[in-house]
Structure 1
Amino acid sequence: MRDACFYGGPRKRKDSEKYHHMDSPLPAAVLLLLLMTLMNIMLYGFGAALQNLNQTELEEKAQNGDEKAAQLLKVLDKPGSFITALHIATTILNMAAGAAVFFLVREMNLRYRFATAGEETPGAVALWWVQAMAILLVLFILLLSISVVIPRKMAQDNPERWAERLLSPVSLLMKAVLPIAFPIAAISGGVLRLFGVDPDSDEEKVTEDDIKLLVSEGHEKGIIKAGEAEMVQNVFELDEKEAGDIMTHRTNIVALDGEMTLNEAVAFIRNEANNSRFPVYKEDIDHIIGILHIRDVLNFSEEAACREQKLCDIEGLLRKPNFIPEIRKIDQLFHEMQAQKSHMEIVVDEYGQTAGIVTLEDILEEIVGNIEDEYDEEEKLIVRRSDGTWLLDGMAPLADVTEKLGFAVEEKDLENFETLSGFLIAKLDRIPEEGEKPVIACCGWIFKIRQVGGKTIRTVVAAPGRRAVKN
């Protein structure tokens, strides 16, 4: 038989009077809810503060005698047991908060039942439950905001202040839950060992993707500058690039003939070169016999007997060259060059021929960007002329040309050709002869080859559509 008190029907007024003389749990439930909310604020705020503390600053303070900094360092050094206790405490508090909310709803229900004794209808009961659910939803949103979201955000913005002020009360709370934490830790530790996981290991596994994400977030929030974020990203990309990707191509190498005398080398370096190191070859660039350093040139040129000697005949003048394959990873190459105190490596292809050179500066530029000194002349590979046409260097990167001029090529062309010269030679289907000035129409542009040399296209003039191209 259903309870007539809740579902309707005659109800005696003395039951209502009896209820009002009962001790109501409402004040206790409200007090419990407020207390649990306050404790949650402390725990969630303290946890967020710990995650954002600067350990280096804490160590400095601890060395200067700051006791709270020393205590916080102890928590940070071995956070495993503390985090377990923190999770247990928050779970217990959330359960207690749930109990408080249950008593509040129960009290509201009892008050409603006795207040409407004998008068409630099914519609009125349904309305009451809708109101109760709405109140629960509002309570949930308020509690989540006040006890979790707000303290976390405030602690993240000022972690040191929050951690120092909450250290003592949170430590007392942690001690209260230790009797519960020990058996939980024992059970979870046993299960973890069954799966081959060491529960006592505090080692954090930070991946490359984690660091990239942190850098990206830091840049978006303005904490890390764009240049700094780019450098970090470039460091991680070093192991993806090979020597062949960053080398100076053989056609652009400034090298010296070993048959050249020391005086001739000095004159060449003074008048035509800005480098400090030069590969020295015998017969051709595929037979490099050493590296000439400008400091060695100056030292040996002081000896009159050496000035008219050939570079290849002066003992001790040339330094031993190091040869590497095109596929050598840049990060590995960087460590090798550091260990060998080498600033220049000769890159050879699979047939043993010289493909190019890589310097320590080339590797550093992959991290920090272009490095120029007072002797470097700015290279203008892509220049817009006054008549609206473009003067292009054949060695200009194809991707840069397409971006500047605003036309698109197929993805396979960008993969197959690094330079404009290679792309145009492929379109022409042959290497143009020196002095020849063929015109190539493609991608909605007209390209007139202006200069050819060394089996590559040196300079090109480009104009959109069918526009006449001037020299």
Structure 2
Amino acid sequence: MSDLLIIMILILISALFAMSEIAIAASRKIKLRVMVDEGNKKAQAVLTLQEQPGAFFAMIQIALNAIAILGGIVGEQALSPYIEQILGMIYQGPLLSQISFLISFFSITSLFILFADLLPKRLAMIMPEAVAVNVVSIMRWVTFALTPFVVFFNGITNLVLRAFKVPAEREDIVTTEDIVAMMDAGAEYGSLQQQEYELIGNVFDLEARFLSSVMTPRDQIVFFDVKADAKEVATKIIEHPHNHFLVCDGSLDKLIGSVESKDILRKVLKGQTAEIDNELISRDIFYLPETLSLSEALNTFKKAAEPFAVVVNEYALMVGIVTVKDLMKGFMGDLITHQGEELIIKRDNSSWLVDGLTPVVELAKVLEIEEFPEQSHYETVAGFLIYTMKRLPKRAEFINYGGYKFEVVDVEGVKVEQLLVTRISESV
């Protein structure tokens, strides 16, 4: 009976080491750091152990192999006599000892596999951080007790790794892909709400999107002619209630400055006409190149503290205008998009009306397309059509991509105003 008791103790000890190995290896650094911030000192010990795991894993392997050898020696002696006695009741042949040994070996091996390996490792994988913080102190003491053996085997391991030019320590760098994977998992299991998921995803798109995807393009800019009469100015303010208007001399290519609508309204309230006086015009215009990403533009706006910027291309020609609100919509999406501003309108479960200026990254999310082809060459869905066709598309022309049909519905001059996107049965 003492041998059976020793086997049980060996199984428990082996289970502890197997559980510790998996738990400390599988513990997530992000979650451990949260526990450290909450005052859990053992979580910090686990992080320290993960940073230099060589000695720990050397100790684990020494312990597990020693237990396995000892278990094999004791196990055969513990069970063989009992199995031989029971088996002898029905069989007394010359192979009785060998059969008893095989059954004993199989039984001991099965017990170790099940209770010293599979079950503890499964538990450690299910809740790695909870297990790790509870076993880390014991593991550190055992490592200290086996220091001579640990130093010897860990040193040889490091020499072999260096010989093959393999890093001796693991570098844990949290990449964008890692964070996205965690977001996907959180959204799948419900711990991250859909709006939160979309918002965080949009933040990661800030570096990949440029000003042209959110700005008001040149042909849609409402501006005042410096020679405009009071009636024309008042009409534009009523029809387009913006806070700021550009002031030009005949066209956007002759930009003079900008004026605030509240200054004109103040004149009207004083009984004066709504004409644009020189003293109302601010000639300090904030310019941004169209090659800036949304992230860079946000940082620039933060430093400049300007409400809007004129977007220019490499030839110093105005191509659009962008406000802080436009940039915010770039990653806030539907959270600040009001009724009437939708660029993508769902008609039914298999078709959408899409504005030509819709950023392709936004349409890709709606259609669940991983990426449009050679996406770095264009920003909008109209640009996608033009780039793919290698010409300006005409009304009713279409292309198929990713299981969808992109059909031009409305064209105004050289501008693609609206498309109809329809799901088709096969990808082309």
TM-score where L is the length of structure 2? 0.69
Match of residue 260 from structure 1: 228
The aligned runs of 1:424-463 (5 Å cut-off) are: 440=396, 456=415
Going from structure 1 to structure 2, the CA distance change for 1:189 and 1:351 (only over 3 Å counts) comes to: same
The aligned runs of 1:148-187 (5 Å cut-off) are: 148-156=121-129, 159=130, 162=131, 165-166=134-135, 168-182=137-151
Going from structure 1 to structure 2, the CA distance change for 1:206 and 1:263 (only over 3 Å counts) comes to: same
The aligned runs of 1:72-471 (5 Å cut-off) are: 72=42, 74-75=44-45, 78-79=48-49, 83-104=53-74, 106-107=76-77, 111=81, 119-120=93-94, 129=102, 132-133=105-106, 136-137=109-110, 139-156=112-129, 159=130, 162=131, 165-166=134-135, 168-182=137-151, 204-260=172-228, 265=233, 268-269=236-237, 271-297=238-264, 310-311=276-277, 313-314=278-279, 317-318=281-282, 320-370=284-334, 372=336, 377-379=340-342, 395=356, 397=358, 418=380, 440=396, 456=415
CA deviation digits over 1:384-421, x for unaligned, max 9?
69xxxx9968747598999999xxxx9799x8794579
SS state at 1:365 partner: helix
Higher CA-based Rg: 1
SS state at 1:292 partner: strand
Provide the rounded CA distance (Å) in 2 between the counterparts of 1:462 and 1:48: 45
Q: Is the 8 A contact 2:32 2:44 kept in 1?
A: no
Q: Is the 8 A contact 2:210 2:292 kept in 1?
A: yes
TM-score where L is the length of structure 1? 0.64
Going from structure 1 to structure 2, the CA distance change for 1:352 and 1:132 (only over 3 Å counts) comes to: same
Going from structure 1 to structure 2, the CA distance change for 1:334 and 1:304 (only over 3 Å counts) comes to: same
SS state at 1:286 partner: coil
Provide the rounded CA distance (Å) in 1 between the counterparts of 2:92 and 2:230: 118
Provide the rounded CA distance (Å) in 1 between the counterparts of 2:407 and 2:314: 36
Distance apart, 1:319 and its partner CA: 5.1
Going from structure 1 to structure 2, the CA distance change for 1:166 and 1:355 (only over 3 Å counts) comes to: same
Distance apart, 1:50 and its partner CA: 7.5
Distance apart, 1:95 and its partner CA: 0.9
Going from structure 1 to structure 2, the CA distance change for 1:297 and 1:197 (only over 3 Å counts) comes to: farther
Amino acid at match of 1:146: L
Amino acid at match of 1:94: L
Amino acid at match of 1:225: Q
Distance apart, 1:350 and its partner CA: 4.2
Distance apart, 1:342 and its partner CA: 2.7
Distance apart, 1:290 and its partner CA: 2.5
Match of residue 36 from structure 1: 14
SS state at 2:309 partner: strand
Q: Which runs of 5+ in 1 are unaligned?
A: 1-22, 62-68, 433-438, 464-471
Q: Give the fraction of aligned pairs with identical amino acids, expressed as a percent.
A: 18
Q: Which runs of 5+ in 2 are unaligned?
A: 400-404, 423-428
Q: Is the 8 A contact 1:325 1:347 kept in 2?
A: yes
Provide the rounded CA distance (Å) in 2 between the counterparts of 1:266 and 1:97: 90
Provide the rounded CA distance (Å) in 2 between the counterparts of 1:59 and 1:88: 30
Q: Is the 8 A contact 1:290 1:318 kept in 2?
A: yes
Amino acid at match of 1:97: I
Provide the rounded CA distance (Å) in 1 between the counterparts of 2:122 and 2:171: 28
Distance apart, 1:355 and its partner CA: 1.9
Q: Is the 8 A contact 1:291 1:318 kept in 2?
A: yes
Aligned-residue Cα RMSD (Å) equals 5.3
Amino acid at match of 1:260: A
Amino acid at match of 2:118: S
Distance apart, 1:87 and its partner CA: 1.9
Q: Is the 8 A contact 1:345 1:357 kept in 2?
A: yes
CA deviation digits over 1:399-444, x for unaligned, max 9?
8999999xxxx9799x8794579969x99x8899xxxxxx747689
Going from structure 1 to structure 2, the CA distance change for 1:258 and 1:189 (only over 3 Å counts) comes to: farther
Provide the rounded CA distance (Å) in 2 between the counterparts of 1:326 and 1:75: 49
SS state at 1:352 partner: coil
Amino acid at match of 1:273: H
Distance apart, 1:283 and its partner CA: 1.8
Provide the rounded CA distance (Å) in 1 between the counterparts of 2:286 and 2:107: 77
Q: Is the 8 A contact 2:406 2:420 kept in 1?
A: no
CA deviation digits over 1:1-42, x for unaligned, max 9?
xxxxxxxxxxxxxxxxxxxxxx99665444333333245445
